[in-house]
Structure 1
Amino acid sequence: MTEHPDHPNHPDPADRPEQPAPTARPLRRLDARSLRGLAHPLRMQIFELLNLDGPATATLLAERLGENTGTVSWHLRHLAEHGFIEEETGRGTKRERWWRRVPVRNDLNTAEFRDDPDSRGAVSLYTNQLVQQYFNRVTSYLTEDWEGDWRNVGTIADWTNLRLTADQLKSLNDELAEVIHRHTPTPGADPDPDALPVVVQLQAFPRKTRGAE
């Protein structure tokens, strides 16, 4: 899986083709150690907030997550140790540090860990937590009030009548990712004053046939 900032999200749900990034950010391939450093429910929530909302302190994150500040601080240090986040220098104090996501693209290929019993649990936790994060984003959207032009432009849809080969499914996912890439703004470009952050979540995967033979 190449996590497109995005988060830390996927056909496997984590194996998907890498698409050209709109930036020159380096690509970091996650190994077993870094995967275990991220694969914790609270750490993944912290990483998601820093990715979606930008830099924050342990106090701010604790308030958003309903957690103890000391606990959040411990997990922040753990994420920093594994290279997912870093302190924002020149901001804050020794007692109240600001943290931000490290500007790299994180790439995880779950197939590399299938035969590693020591990493299998971390892979399972990571992918299940990732799916839960996607679900939480959708439910938050549905419970929020939107007015004007934003009221009916979101979509939640599925298509269940496709029958594709493995190569065709890969091609479909490649094409969809390229569409998103074309709509991704160039870093540093002045945003449209009417624009809001938009999350695109895509799940496209095969389903085993069930029922009568």
Structure 2
Amino acid sequence: MPEKNAENPSPEVRTLDARSLRGLAHPLRIRLLAALRRDGPATASQLGERFGESSGSTSYHLRQLAAHGFVEDAPEHGKGRERWWKAIHDGTRFDESLMYDENPETRGAADVFLQEIATIHAQETNAWLGDAVNWPKEWRRSTDMSDYTLRLSAEQSFELIHRMHELINSYRDLPPAEGAETVRVHTHAFPRRNGE
């Protein structure tokens, strides 16, 4: 999500419903939307080149994202016939009830969406590991790949997750510092049965 600042006082997050989830739940659409959110407006051709897809494919999926209210035209960037796209919201919130929806298509879309998010997180982590040697030491020591095993109730886990989110979001209020870079923060919390 973009940084919180005077022009963008708080990130605008869209909560998925069954219809919007089914419109988003495609690996390329999820990646296109993420790219527009992180890197700003782009054309179908630019995104196609970035993701190794034809501009026809990216154009089709961008139109689908637009039909479901995730992206819109960015005419201020266009020159001539170029069609530029931009994300409408800063982030997406997944409603866990979608995993238990009575419609099997919605449940399937929830599976696709969550699996793709997990894949993206793993790819981003692996990309960092492959490139870490090219970053200054102060950045390498300022990263984290920790894991913890705790004994919590579902209520305690819920509380922990929300406290982590509050802490992370409090950093959006900080003024830009010299040497600031975009930092990706992944959080994962899930129960595990013994022996798994």
TM-score in same-fold range (> 0.5): yes
More helix by share: 2
* Local SS of the residue matching 2:177: coil
Tell me the alpha carbon deviations over residues 46-80 of structure 1, each in whole angstroms, 9 at most, x when there is no partner.
11111121111111111111111111111111111
Given the alignment of the two structures, is residue 152 of structure 1 paired with residue 138 of structure 2, yes or no?
no
Superposed counterparts of 1:1-213, under 5 Å: 5=1, 23-24=9-10, 26-93=12-79, 95-103=81-89, 105-114=91-100, 115-144=102-131, 145-160=134-149, 162-185=150-173, 191-210=176-195
> Higher relative CO (CA 8 A, sep ≥ 6), structure 1 or 2?
1
The 1:36/1:112 distance shift into structure 2, 3 A limit, reads closer
Q: Unpaired runs of 5+ in structure 1?
A: 7-21
Tell me the alpha carbon deviations over residues 118-175 of structure 1, each in whole angstroms, 9 at most, x when there is no partner.
3111111111011001111101111112124212211111012x11111111111111
The 1:146/1:173 distance shift into structure 2, 3 A limit, reads same
Q: Unpaired runs of 5+ in structure 2?
A: 3-7
Identical aligned pairs, as a percentage?
Answer: 37
In structure 1, give the amino acid aligned to 2:167: V
The 1:130/1:28 distance shift into structure 2, 3 A limit, reads same
The runs of 4+ residues in structure 1 deviating greater than 6 Å are none
Tell me the alpha carbon deviations over residues 80-121 of structure 1, each in whole angstroms, 9 at most, x when there is no partner.
111101111222135212111103543321324413223111
The equivalent of 1:19 in structure 2 is: none
